[in-house]
């Protein structure tokens, strides 16, 4: 852990929330809490299942995780 005021510990979380706000809210807001919960759950499902990430060789996180588990089972260390 870094010291107080050093942002590097939160870099991944900050990146996620930045993309989340940009892609989902686009400067707007939700009319009610139920609508916010619905949209957030759908966005996270999309983010994990379909959105491709350059850090994962342009695969979705779910696909990458499945591929990693399959490879790990076939080639135990």
Q: Is 31 part of a structural domain of the chain? A: no
Q: What is the extent of the structural domain holding 72? A: 50-77
Residue 57 belongs to a domain: yes
Query: pTM, whole model, 2 decimals?
Result: 0.54
List, in sequence order, every beta strand (DSSP E) within 1-77. none
pLDDT at residue 33 tops 80 = yes
Segment (H or E) for 13: helix 11-20
Q: Per-residue pLDDT for 51 more than 60?
A: yes
Any domain includes 36 = no
Q: 3-class SS at 33?
A: helix
Identify the pLDDT of residue 5: 66
Structural contact between residues 50 and 60, judged by C-beta atoms closer than 8 angstroms: yes
Query: Is 8 inside any structural domain?
Result: no
The answer to whether residue 38 is domain-embedded is no
- The domain tally of the chain equals 1
Q: Is residue 70 part of a domain?
A: yes
**Residue 74 located in a structural domain:** yes
Task: Judge whether 24 and 43 are in contact, CB under 8 Å.
Answer: yes
Bridge partners of residue 59, in order along the sequence: 53
């Amino acid at each position: 852990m870094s010291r107080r005021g050093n942002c590097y510990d939160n870099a991944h979380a900050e990146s996620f929330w930045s993309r989340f706000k940009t892609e989902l809210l686009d400067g707007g807001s939700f009319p009610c809490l139920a609508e916010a919960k619905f949209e957030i759950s759908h966005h996270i499902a999309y983010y994990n299942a379909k959105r491709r990430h350059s850090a994962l060789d342009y695969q979705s996180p779910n696909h990458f995780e499945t591929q990693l588990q399959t490879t790990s089972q076939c080639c135990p260390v």
